[in-house]
Amino acid sequence: MYKVKVYITLRESVLDPQGAAVQQSLHSLTYNEVSDVRVGKYVELTIKDTDRDLDQLVKEMCEKLLANTVIEAYRYDVEEVITQ
């Protein structure tokens, strides 16, 4: 079994209005040290043992469903879970 953690972020060149709103709210809460905020998505997938290539599988899932690759970038970590 595998735990795959996928991080999806807006590409650098894409405006992030949600991040700007969060930043403004943090400033009104007196956290003026915060100079930039970017908001993304975090997806945890639990994947059963499979014969298919895991890297290939996760990339396909990200590109077909999880991320919009025109405006978003993704990266992921794979952890193997040993069950006894």
CA distances from 2 to 7, 10, 37 (A): 16, 26, 31
Positions in the binding site for a second copy (CB under 8 A): 1, 7-9, 19, 22, 25-26, 29, 31, 33-48, 50, 52, 57, 60-61, 64-66
Q: How far is the CB of 70 from a second copy (least distance, A)?
A: 19
Closer to a second copy at the Cβ: 44 or 84?
A: 44
Shortest distance, CB of residue 26 to a second copy, whole angstroms? Answer: 6
Beta carbons of 6 and 73 less than 8 angstroms apart: no
Which CB atom, from 35 or from 84, has the smaller least distance to a second copy?
35
CB of 47 to a second copy, least distance (A): 5
- Whole-number Å distance between alpha carbons of 76 and 62: 9
Contact criterion met (CB below 8 Å) for 75 and 5: no
